Chains A and B, each alone.
Chain A
Amino acid sequence: MVTIPFIWIMGDLLWNGWDQLSFSFVFSAPQNAGREGGIGPILISTLLIVGVCMGTAVPMGLGTALFLSEYTRHDHVLGRLIRGSLDVLAGVPSIVFGLFGNALFCQILGLGFSILSGGLTLACMVLPILIRTVEESFHAISQEQRLSAAALGLSKTTTIRRILLPAALPGLLVGIILGLGRAVAETAALIFTSGYVARMPESLMDSGRSLAVHIYDLAMNVAGGNPHAYATALVLVGLVFIINVSSSWIASRWTSCNRLSA
């Protein structure tokens, strides 16, 4: 049953979008509001936005997850507070994040409609799911590993760096994949924060249109934009697919190297 929508969507995308897809479509600039030309700058903007997002979210997420699992007791008030708010945040609709990002990053911090604002907004959105996934993978490591590390006189830093982090890496990768998937396909949160200028961005302070925003724009606002919307969607799905495959490949390589028990 679940494969039917998948096959339907993929079939529809391939049927309508495959003809439009070409090397020049992927790398050239859009013309005539996207009806002609390609998606080069949009692809670059998307990668930049996602890069800013993950560059911020991964260190913060890892740090928070470490703090929650290794430096606070499970029933501690602070930990409970953080976990509770993360669970609420994970369920907040993305448009609310968009408005929040617009208020905080674009206006209060004065970053305007920019790739930086968009990336940071996405980071806020991705953080809850990232933190919870990574924290779970720290919890999955048996307590005996920590005790035996301590019994050998290993410092906490060494234990975390050499034993816990490598063991939690597959979990971190899963968190990153989930986060990336959410970030790369995000529309609502980006319209208000990174804007929809389709030019090639010159810096992180420029406004940039992401692939998902481009699809939305072509499909809703541009008459005759549907063929390119399909093609862009195909690129986006391809991108998500590549991310998934490559990270599970990294994860499986890592696990076979280390033979981590689940």
Chain B
Amino acid sequence: MDIMQPTFRINPEPGKPAGLRPWVPYPSDELCCEPVTHIRAKNLSIAYQDHQALRNVTLEINRGCITALVGPSGCGKTSFLMSLNRLTDLIPGCQVSGNLHMNELDILAPTTDLLQLRRAVGMIFQKPTVFPFSIRKNLELPLREHGTHHRTVLHSAMENVLQQVGLWHEVKDRLDHPAQALSGGQQQRLCLARALVLSPDLLLLDEPCSALDPLSSGIVEDLIVSLRGHVTIMIVTHNLAQARRIADHIAFFWSFEGSGTLVEYGPAQAIFENPIHELTGAYISGTRG
């Protein structure tokens, strides 16, 4: 098998973007309540100056599903995430080519309103990135930026998201205290709340649990699962057990001669139990990567 060619469990029509095979009778498929394509990437490539980080990624992601991007470090998973909200624009020398659509919106078009795009696409990073001011201001800043100024609206939005991430009872008496005084796990949940306060359609999580202790990691993981069906989630993780627990779909990346590409993509259970590509099998069983 030519390892440079990404293989898909499914490619109903050669030449067309490989999507999910609707007839695959995997139970995990049913977890996605609506099999509606939300994100569509076609021949997506990302280069940093002269280094090709990601090559020819083509996949479709369903609305409301949790898709885990797995694979060894340096195979372009984070770059792929960052192209979805055009954070790649902020990296000097980074060039994204190919097609990338969210619903009908052409993400890569130069005319795309970046502030609106990023409002609809939330992102959480590996390390919690709370801003150096109070918990309240952390949540109000994005809302104010996007035009909400009414005090009661701000407050109820804040209470809602803090309830949603299970932080409300822990912080309701110290909303005006510095956010950096919270523990790492609480900070990460605050970051999640801050992303959710803008009601995003798509949530990008870049190893959100890797800097947390096992207990906090579990809480954040449960939270991610609780968002299934409400928000489309793409999560980069190196924790295969976590991917197995939470993901509906797995996209497996591998790096060939320094540039990453998508090797296999499909329902989580199928990837774990019956991988098509030998690399996927080796990675999942722990003999490679």
Q: Which residues of A contact B (CB under 8 A)?
A: 73, 142, 144-155, 158, 162-163, 166-167, 257-261
Contacts and interface: CB of A to CB of B under 8 A. Distances in A.
Interface residues of B, number: 30
Interface string B88-123: 001010000000000000000000001111110111
Given A144-B127, A166-B132, A155 B90 contact: no
Contacts of A258: 132-133, 178, 180
21 contacts: A144-B125, A147-B90, A147-B123, A148-B129, A151-B118, A151-B195, A152-B118, A152-B119, A152-B122, A152-B141, A153-B116, A153-B146, A154-B142, A155-B115, A158-B141, A162-B141, A163-B132, A167-B132, A257-B178, A259-B178, A261-B132
A147 B181 contact: no
Contact of A163 (B87, B92, B114, B131): B131
B198 interface: yes
A153 B115 CA distance: 4
Nearest to A163: B131
Nearest to B191: A148
B93 to A, nearest CB: 9
A154 B90 contact: no
B92 A152 contact: no
Nearest to A257: B178
Contacts of B173: none
B145 interface: yes
B85 interface: yes
Given A144-B127, A151-B121, A162-B131, 10 more contacts: A148-B125, A148-B191, A149-B131, A151-B195, A152-B122, A153-B116, A153-B118, A155-B115, A163-B132, A261-B132
Given A147-B125, A148-B191, A158 B145 contact: yes
A147 B90 CA distance: 8
A149 B145 CA distance: 11
B228 interface: no
B40 interface: no
Given A153-B116, A153-B118, A144 B145 contact: no
B180 A152 contact: no
Nearest to B116: A153
B242 to A, nearest CB: 22
A150 B133 contact: no
A153 B198 contact: yes
B145 A153 contact: yes
Contacts of A147: 87, 90, 123, 125, 129
Given A152-B145, A153-B115, A153-B145, A145 B131 contact: yes
B145 A154 contact: yes
A162 B142 CA distance: 11
A99 B141 CA distance: 49
Given A166-B133, A261-B132, A151 B123 contact: yes
B141 A154 contact: yes
Contacts of B116: 153
A52 B126 CA distance: 46
Contact of B132 (A73, A144, A158, A259): A259
B133 to A, nearest CB: 6
Nearest to A75: B92
B249 interface: no
A188 B121 CA distance: 58
A163 B180 CA distance: 14
Contacts of A152: 118-119, 122, 141-142, 145, 194-195, 198
B118 A150 contact: yes
Contacts of A145: 129, 131
Contacts of B115: 153-155
A13 to B, nearest CB: 41
B202 to A, nearest CB: 11
A261 B145 contact: no
Interface string B171-187: 00000001011000000
Contacts of B145: 152-155, 158
A146 B131 contact: no
Among A147, A149, A151, A166, the most chain B Cβ lie within 10 Å of the Cβ of: A151
Q: Which 7 A-B pairs have the closest CB atoms?
A: A153-B118, A148-B129, A151-B123, A153-B119, A259-B178, A152-B142, A153-B115
A253 B237 CA distance: 40
Contacts of B129: 142, 144-145, 147-148
